[in-house]
Amino acid sequence: MANRAQRRKKPQPISLPMSQAKLLQGLYKNGITDKELKEEWHKGSDAGRDFAIKTCYAAVCKAAKDVCYGTPEEIFEFLQAMDYHVCNTLSSEEAIDSVLEEMGITIRFQEPFDRLERHE
């Protein structure tokens, strides 16, 4: 019992994060290739992007319902119009900035609380 108590009191070594080289070495050792790593990275990247966009669309639905009190059909039409503009008319940063400027809206992503600012 005394040995166990002493071992528990003994400070544990700090585990440092593995370097990228060591991590890759371990993956290669287990038979994972560069091609497989790139494919999985792209799958994860695509899944993360899709989830972020899906979250934005869901947020727009909730906001439209909160502000406009629209029916699900009206909100769907609104979402279709939004999707059209996302895919077809807002294809550059200049176009996006132009619309926000026209609406008198500034978005500050660095701000944790008041990200949107309305100005004349």
In residues, how long is the chain? Answer: 120
Q: 117 - beta bridge partners?
A: 106
To which residue do tokens 């619309």 refer? 99
Do 24 and 36 meet the contact criterion of CB atoms below 8 Å apart? no
Looking at residue 7, its pLDDT comes to 72
Angle at which helices 72-84 and 34-68 cross, to 10°:
130
In eight-state DSSP terms, residue 87 is I
| pLDDT tens profile 61-101 | 888 888 887 888 888 898 899 899 888 888 888 998 999 89
Looking at residue 1, its pLDDT comes to 54
Looking at residue 111, its pLDDT comes to 86
Do 79 and 57 meet the contact criterion of CB atoms below 8 Å apart? yes
